[in-house]
A and B are shown apart, each in its own frame.
Chain A
């Protein structure tokens, strides 16, 4: 028995060591990739404000409260973007806090207020419960900028908010789809987690259009909870029941991928000039590559790069209270390799 325990322990140790090594490797690669991927952008931002930082002689103190970077690919890109812009070279003394829990975020905000930061940047996990802490910040003369997510609080409590307009993303995609001029639109609509802002925005535009147009119909409307396998099962069940369709409107790239896998199985061609139009969202690099190869038709961007907008507001002042970021939609016919490199996350 003892011998067994020993071997077990040794095995566990060996495993943890190799895993540790693997992790180190991974993060190194990752760092290399990102610096290579966007050298132009970071150079610009680094040089311009560096002089300003020099003029002031001291760094702008910011406390950044964000959601957990493991939440999604979107968040990973967002966090990396933040870390790239809010550097000492850029004139910032930034401190980061990550949590998916609202209470923890609020506690962190209180701590930052005590630390007397100049700016508080918040991507709130929940929409409510922030009034008290924002009032404290206002009294202490700390400016608050919200990014990515809004909160239910009086507008006077924050300087600005930088958000994505999910409804606009959906509208862009639906407009693009309408411009394709099909005789009949028979749509499989695969939704994200019900009630999430992305789902509400992206579903809304399509629902309206289907209700308004006579030749637009929904074959099936199901939530796949952002999961490719559920999306695959949903499309599979439609194929098995022999219903005809010519559009798949999936509310993120992974679900579009699952849907495409089901189509491949059943020999239904998809992509540019093929039987079924595939629409995805979020602009993952691999999804844009699918577009480039003509396997998908459209991908809507959900812009995770708010840092440069915030940087602009801090250094050049507030122009509008609510900044809606520019978000693109890519058509497989016009997308270029450059787009993939620039906008892929």
Chain B
């Protein structure tokens, strides 16, 4: 083997490795994450901030126990709801080929349901009784928002309405329903134990929503691993009639994905109202549906349905919260934050558009063609210099060509 050949093959394997990385679905969200990290490091440097964006400290909270604080903790904490929604939204996207835009409104309903139960109890009930109240309120909120999910799912699966149009109904009506559940009372829960689920449990240094999300993510990972949900959802999304011919009922699968999203929404609603122990029906989880859809898109998933990668959706959710927290850090007006997110959306959509894809593919094939001719020229030169071993080299060239 000549040295030329070695360098070519090593270059090639590096390139193919790079290609693999670039074409991996995790590439886009991870690069976005990296960019945000670099941006914040640069901002630390240029602003001469006293403390780094990434500093995490352990210090006592008002309950007396030590807790972790810092921007990274805030990001992981605040992204909890979004990560859960991204999970549900990915499944719905995959099976139904469209998105549910009513999640924000359904969170309002779920949160309102929780408060409706909890507000009836005085703050001095014992721990055991309180746990029962919380569990009951949570179960009811799961049932209610799963029912609303089923409503959306039924419209999509049985009446064949486009997901975005079907969920537009609850998008419009949901917040009114939430207000109606509690007679539009401006509720505030005095019991500090109710706030444990959205903040910290005394004695534990990590925010509770992180645990709740971790548990839910593990459950969903197990479900995807040990059931056929992933396969069925993808096959329904790719071709629903052929999956029907193969014995899968597309309607039921679509319905199930909407119900799963409903359950995710219930957990989100519960965390949201626990964070502040109160609710504002008109603005709770405002525009969160757009963030959830953006997380799915940022994860490189096809919004038209079919194959999906759950991990990259979840990372997408954390990236979005990272972006939000970064913008807050830069003191960008909170009303302008959606404009910055819009920039990300535009970039993503352009990057995944057929036009750019074709252009990239063209470039790639042109570059490969150029490389082949270059390699041939180099080898011809080698042939001239080492005429003696010409036969040997031509064999190598042939081998090289083959592998190219």
Q: Which residues of A contact B (CB under 8 A)?
A: 1, 4-5, 8, 11-12, 15, 19, 22-23, 26-27, 30, 69-73, 76, 194, 220, 222-230, 232-234, 236-237, 239-242, 253-254, 257-258, 261, 263-269, 284, 286-287, 289, 345
Contacts and interface: CB of A to CB of B under 8 A. Distances in A.
B121 interface: no
Given A227-B286, A254-B186, A254-B276, 18 more contacts: A1-B251, A8-B150, A30-B185, A69-B184, A226-B282, A227-B280, A227-B284, A228-B275, A228-B278, A228-B280, A237-B71, A254-B278, A261-B199, A265-B67, A265-B199, A267-B59, A268-B62, A286-B190
Interface in B178-237: 179-188, 190, 195, 199-200
B147 A254 contact: no
A258 B276 contact: yes
Contact of B334 (A5, A30, A230): A230
A237 B328 contact: yes
A233 B278 contact: no
Interface of B: 49-51, 59-62, 67, 69-71, 74, 78, 116, 144, 147, 150-151, 154, 158, 176, 179-188, 190, 195, 199-200, 249, 251-252, 272, 275-278, 280-286, 324-325, 328-329, 331, 333-335
B334 A224 contact: yes
17 contacts: A8-B154, A70-B281, A73-B186, A222-B331, A227-B280, A228-B276, A237-B328, A240-B69, A240-B71, A240-B329, A261-B275, A261-B276, A264-B61, A265-B61, A265-B199, A269-B62, A286-B190
A214 to B, nearest CB: 22
A298 to B, nearest CB: 17
Contact of B328 (A26, A76, A233): A233
A11 B147 contact: yes
A258 B284 CA distance: 12
B49 A222 contact: no
Interface secondary structure of A, over-half rule: helix
Contact of B74 (A72, A240, A254): A240
A284 to B, nearest CB: 5
B179 A223 contact: no
B186 A253 contact: yes
B67 A70 contact: no
B147 A12 contact: yes
A229 B276 contact: yes
A322 B80 CA distance: 50
Contact of A226 (B78, B280, B333): B280
A229 B275 contact: yes
Nearest to A29: B183
A46 to B, nearest CB: 24
Contacts of A265: 61-62, 67, 69, 199-200
Contact of B116 (A11, A22, A71): A22
A276 to B, nearest CB: 12
B275 to A, nearest CB: 6
B335 A223 contact: yes
Nearest to A77: B186
Given A242-B50, A286-B186, A257 B147 contact: no
Contacts of A73: 184-186
A225 B335 contact: yes
